[in-house]
Amino acid sequence: MAESDDNKKPKKNRRRGNTLENWEVAIVKSMIARGAPFTNDQDILAYFTRPTRSVNHRLISEIRGQTKHKSVKPASADDLDAFLATWPDIDHETGLSFRGDELLIKAREAMIAAVQTFNSAGLTFRAELFIVTSIIAWTYLLHACFKRQGIDYRYPGQKTKEGADKFWDLAHCLKQGKCPAKGGVAKNLKFLLEIRHEIEHRSTSRIDDALGAKLQSCALNFNDLLKREFGAQYGLEKRLPIALQFVSFGAEQRSALKKAAGLPKNLEAAIDTFENGLSEEEMKDPAYRMSYGFVPIAAKTPGGADTAVQIVPPGSAEAGEIEKIILKEVNKIRFPPGKVVEKVQAAGFPKFKIHQHTQLWKKLEAKKDGKGYGCIGDYGHWVWFDRWVDQVILHCEEEGDRYR
Q: How do residues 170-208 score in pLDDT, each as one tens digit?
A: 999 999 999 999 999 999 999 999 888 877 655 555 666
Domain boundary among 56, 86, 116: 86
Is pLDDT of 141 > 90? yes
For the chain, what percent of residues have pLDDT higher than 90?
Answer: 29
Can you give the pLDDT at residue 69?
86
**Which DSSP string corresponds to 67-81?**
SS-TTSPPPPHHHHH
List the single range of 158-172, 177-191, 314-328, 331-345 with lowest mean pLDDT: 314-328
* 373 neighbors 383 (Cβ within 8 angstroms): no
Tell me: do 14 and 75 sit in the same domain: yes
Can you give the pLDDT at residue 382?
87
Instruction: Give the tens place of pLDDT for each residue, 347-371.
Output: 999 999 999 999 999 999 999 887 8
Is pLDDT of 247 > 50? no
**pTM for this prediction:** 0.58
Tell me: do 234 and 130 sit in the same domain: yes
Cα(301)–Cα(294) distance, integer angstroms? 20
List the single range of 66-70, 286-290, 338-342, 353-357 with lowest mean pLDDT: 286-290
Tell me: do 255 and 360 sit in the same domain: no
Can you give the pLDDT at residue 206?
60
For residue 88, whether the previous peptide bond is cis, meaning omega lies within 30 degrees of 0, is yes
Average pLDDT for 240-262: 48
* 115 neighbors 219 (Cβ within 8 angstroms): yes
382 lies in a domain?
Answer: yes
Tell me: do 30 and 114 sit in the same domain: no
Cα(191)–Cα(141) distance, integer angstroms? 18
Tell me: do 19 and 64 sit in the same domain: yes
Question: Residue 8 — pLDDT band, cuts 50, 70, 90?
Answer: very low
Taking only Cα atoms into account, the Rg of the chain, rounded to an integer number of angstroms, comes to 28
289 lies in a domain?
Answer: no
Tell me: do 226 and 106 sit in the same domain: yes
266 lies in a domain?
Answer: yes
Tell me: do 263 and 117 sit in the same domain: yes
60 lies in a domain?
Answer: yes
Q: What is the largest CA-CA distance in the chain?
A: 96
Domain boundary among 245, 271, 297: 271
179 lies in a domain?
Answer: yes
Question: Residue 104 — pLDDT band, cuts 50, 70, 90?
Answer: very high
φ, ψ dihedrals at 207, nearest 5°: -120, 10
What is the per-residue burial (b if ≥16 Cβ within 10 Å, else e) of 307-338?
Answer: eeeeeeeeeeeeeeebeeeeeeeeeeebbbbe
Tell me: do 106 and 186 sit in the same domain: yes
Is pLDDT of 249 > 50? no
What is the rounded average pLDDT for all residues in the chain?
Answer: 78
All residues at 6 or more sequence positions from 270 whose CB lies less than 8 Å from its CB, including other chains: 194, 195, 197, 198
Can you give the pLDDT at residue 393?
93
Can you give the pLDDT at residue 291?
61
φ, ψ dihedrals at 212, nearest 5°: -55, -40
List the single range of 114-123, 132-141, 178-187, 298-307 with lowest mean pLDDT: 298-307
Most confident of 54-63, 90-99, 175-184, 270-279: 175-184
Question: Residue 310 — pLDDT band, cuts 50, 70, 90?
Answer: low
367 lies in a domain?
Answer: yes
Other residues' Cβ atoms within 10 Å of the Cβ of residue 286: 14
Can you give the pLDDT at residue 56?
78
Of 382 and 4, the structure prediction assigns the larger pLDDT to 382
Tell me: do 262 and 352 sit in the same domain: no
Q: Domain of 139?
A: 102-271
323 lies in a domain?
Answer: no
Can you give the pLDDT at residue 217?
87
Can you give the pLDDT at residue 268?
67
65 lies in a domain?
Answer: yes
Tell me: do 256 and 128 sit in the same domain: yes
Domain boundary among 244, 271, 298: 271
Tell me: do 218 and 143 sit in the same domain: yes
Number of domains in the chain: 3
Average pLDDT for 158-177: 91
Can you give the pLDDT at residue 290?
67
Burial of 4 (0-12, 13-18, 19+ CB in 10 A): exposed
Tell me: do 119 and 264 sit in the same domain: yes
